[in-house]
Structures are given as structure tokens and as C-alpha cells.
Amino acid sequence: MFILSDVLAIVSADDRQLLLNLFENAPAYITECSVIKTLLPGQTLITTDQKADRIFIHITGQLLGIDTFEPDIIYNFMEFHPVNIIGEFEAFSNKRNYQINISIKSKSILIVITMKDFLNWMQCDIKALNIITRLLALKLSSESKVARGNLFLISYDRLLIYIYNYCTNSNNDGQIIIINKKRSELADEVAFCEKTINRAVNKLVSDGFISSGRNSIKISPNQFSLIKETLELRQLI
């Protein structure tokens, strides 16, 4: 069981209104039978070999969508931010298993609803159904346009997008941002071999996008602006 007022107290004002609209006409069994789940960085939420029997309403923290497209190479293809529904695609398309692997990037709180309760809720609450299908459409559109397309980018472009996303999520406006990661770590996250990443880093340095030190990448405010302008011009973000 969860108390909606407790959930509303820990989310932003915009998310609060969305959740109020979502649960406005929800049957009593949704709050009575659902639970709150807290997960920590590195933990796994769902995998593609797991039966799709629960719906998750993601209310705080960041999640990572993960693909494995070469042996032993993991690619974090998309970040999920609140408010986000997980499992609704499987519910509406009658998929037996989840169609995505999701891990926890930062401490996250989710509302967990059984698939049966969720589908019964959708059948009697047109307002909630409209909200969830709209969120699903936006998520699928974003994934198709940007994230999945990154799989086919060259290492230079993919690393530049990775650096842009890292800076955007760092909340260090107007300051030098430092990515303290070994080349092997970058290779794992960007999904290219270490030698390829080294060449991409050297090219980004020579093009003025970044400054590089031992196991670190530095991005000044001016460099971040240049990265953003370049990616926007090439329609990569």
C-alpha cells in the first residue's frame, strides 16, 4: 500500500500535477495493493528474460536502458527520468517478457503495480489511459529519433553525444566539468574498443571540443556551448 500524499511530497511541482491527474480516478485497489520500491545505483530493475508481470511508475531518480549488441559490450542507450511508466508497452502489446533491460543510475523510487491490476485500472479510467499512452508515445518517439540511432554513429559522434549528456546531467552550469573516467570505462559506456576511444578523444581535443588529461576529460563552458551547437546543427540532439 502507498499513500499518494507521501508520494506527492517528494516530487517536483510539475510531476506532482501529473501524478495527481494520473491517480485522480484510480480505483481504491491501486493504492491499497501497490507498493513503493526503492532501488540503489547499479541494481537491476528489469531484464528481457524476466516475465512482464509488474508495472513501475518511476517517480524519482534516473534509470538506464541497456542493450548488448556485441559480445560483452554493454551500451547504455537511453536515460529515463520521472515521471516515467515502465512495463506499459508490454501490457498494451501483450508481450510475455519485458522488451528492455533497465538498471538504476541514481537512487530511484518507484510505485509497483501488478500487471493484472494495471490493466483493470486502464479499462475503467480513460483519463489515466490517455496520460499513459501519451507518455508512451513520447518515450518511443524519443528513443527512435535519438537514442537507438546512436548505435550506428561513428565513435567520434557517439563520444561527443556521451560528453554532452554527461555535462547536461552534471548540473554544473558555468563551471568546468571534469569526467574522471579511464579510457576503458569510456569504451564500455560508449561501446567501442579502447583504442578507438583514444583516437576519438584525441580528435575531439584537436577540434577544440574538450581538454584531456590522464584518465580525465575537461569541458569548459565555451567548449560545452560549442558541443551543443555542433550537435544541434547536425541534428544529433
Fold designation for 153-233:
Arc Repressor Mutant, subunit A (1.10.10)
Q: Write the burial class of residue 33 (CB in 10 Å: 0-12 exposed, 13-18 middle, 19+ buried).
A: middle
Span 163-220, pLDDT tens digits:
998 998 887 777 899 999 998 888 888 878 888 889 899 999 999 999 987 789 999 9
Q: Is the whole model's pTM more than 0.75, yes or no?
A: no
Give residue 1's pLDDT.
84
| Whole-number Å distance between alpha carbons of 16 and 37 | 18
Please check whether residue 186 is in contact with residue 198, taking contact to mean a CB–CB distance below 8 angstroms.
no
Please check whether residue 170 is in contact with residue 205, taking contact to mean a CB–CB distance below 8 angstroms.
no
Give residue 72's pLDDT.
44
> What is the residue whose three cell numbers read 588529461?
213
Give residue 2's pLDDT.
84
For the chain, give every domain's residue range: 4-150, 153-233
| Whole-number Å distance between alpha carbons of 117 and 113 | 7
The band of 16, judged by pLDDT with boundaries at 50, 70 and 90, is very high
Beta bridge partners of 56: 86, 112
Cis peptide bond prior to 83, omega within 30° of 0: yes
C-alpha cell at 99: 522488451
On the question of pLDDT at 237 being above 90, the answer is no
Beta bridge partners of 38: 109
**Residue type present at position 51:** K
Please check whether residue 196 is in contact with residue 186, taking contact to mean a CB–CB distance below 8 angstroms.
no
- For domain 4-150, the question of CATH label 2.60.120.10 is answered with yes
